[in-house]
A = this chain, B = another copy of it.
Amino acid sequence: MNSLVEENYLKALFSLSNEHGEVNVNDLSKRLEIKMPTVTSMMKKLAEKELVHYEKYRPVRLSEMGKKAATHIIRKHRLTEMFLVEVMGFGWEEVHDIAEQIEHVKSPVFFNKMDEILGHPSFDPHGSPIPDINGNIHGEQYRKFSECKKGERVKFMAVANSSENFLKFLNTKGLSLETQIEILSVEPFDGTMTVTYGDRPSEVFSKVVCDKLLVV
């Protein structure tokens, strides 16, 4: 059985390798806000437990076992978020930090019950896919909105970041998942986009925001 701390390392390792391919000790250190020497020693420990492949001065890779363990925690995290929104009535901006804690609960029946009550959902409230019980993730690859061109009409499918502040910002802009967005113009200098959607005739989003919107 892995500790709560080990679980958080595995999860970070999994998302970082999806974002960047290779994962350096430094990336992990920044993501987890834990100093590099601590990360190095944890990598040795996880390698000992055969959850990662690690050779010194080389990037770290999750083993098959490690991947399985990681997706299992991600499944619990995302089911929890979905439960908090759909069953308990929380806003999508409130649930990440609570799920960050509940994901470590050791009780298969608890998460299976959530899954059942929710009707085996495929996506969490932020549009991220919920891994199935075997750790397999079904769901297409989304495009970054910031890489779309003037004139395109796309559908907002997921956020690349579920921080409370960013989601609250989207709330004030009345932008929610599944919304159809049309790109009116793109400023070449800094990537700022002027867009229209729903009842909003014209909204301006910085590249920082557009980078965090995933579309199809």
Interface check A113, CB cutoff 8 A: yes
- The A9-52 residues at the B interface (CB cut-off 8 A) are none
- The A100-159 residues at the B interface (CB cut-off 8 A) are 101-102, 105-107, 109-110, 113-114, 117
Our pick among B101, B114, B117 for the contact of A107 (Cβ within 8 Å) is B101
Interface check A97, CB cutoff 8 A: yes
Interface check A211, CB cutoff 8 A: no
Interface check A98, CB cutoff 8 A: yes
Provided the pairs A90-B113, A113-B88 are in contact, do residues A105 and B107 lie with their beta carbons within 8 angstroms?
no
Interface footprint category on A: 10 to 19
Chain B contacts of A90 at CB under 8 A?
109, 113
Interface check A201, CB cutoff 8 A: no
Number of copies: 2
Q: How distant is the Cα of A114 from the Cα of B90 in the complex, in angstroms?
A: 11
Report yes or no: B89 in contact with A87, Cβ–Cβ below 8 A. no
Chain B contacts of A94 at CB under 8 A?
109
Provided the pairs A87-B87, A88-B117, A117-B88 are in contact, do residues A101 and B109 lie with their beta carbons within 8 angstroms?
no
Q: How distant is the Cα of A42 from the Cα of B111 in the complex, in angstroms?
A: 34
Q: How distant is the Cα of A90 from the Cα of B88 in the complex, in angstroms?
A: 16
Our pick among B89, B101, B109, B110 for the contact of A106 (Cβ within 8 Å) is B101
Q: Across the two chains, which residue of chain B brings its CB closest to A105?
A: B101
- The A52-67 residues at the B interface (CB cut-off 8 A) are none
Q: Min CB distance, A51 to chain B, in Å?
A: 23
Chain B contacts of A105 at CB under 8 A?
98, 101-102
Chain B contacts of A84 at CB under 8 A?
110
Q: How distant is the Cα of A113 from the Cα of B94 in the complex, in angstroms?
A: 12
Q: How distant is the Cα of A100 from the Cα of B69 in the complex, in angstroms?
A: 23
Q: How distant is the Cα of A98 from the Cα of B84 in the complex, in angstroms?
A: 17
Q: Across the two chains, which residue of chain B brings its CB closest to A102?
A: B105
Q: Min CB distance, A98 to chain B, in Å?
A: 5
Q: Given contacts A88-B117, A98-B109, A101-B107, could you give 6 more A-B pairs where the C-beta distance is less than 8 Å? A: A89-B113, A90-B109, A98-B105, A98-B110, A101-B106, A102-B102
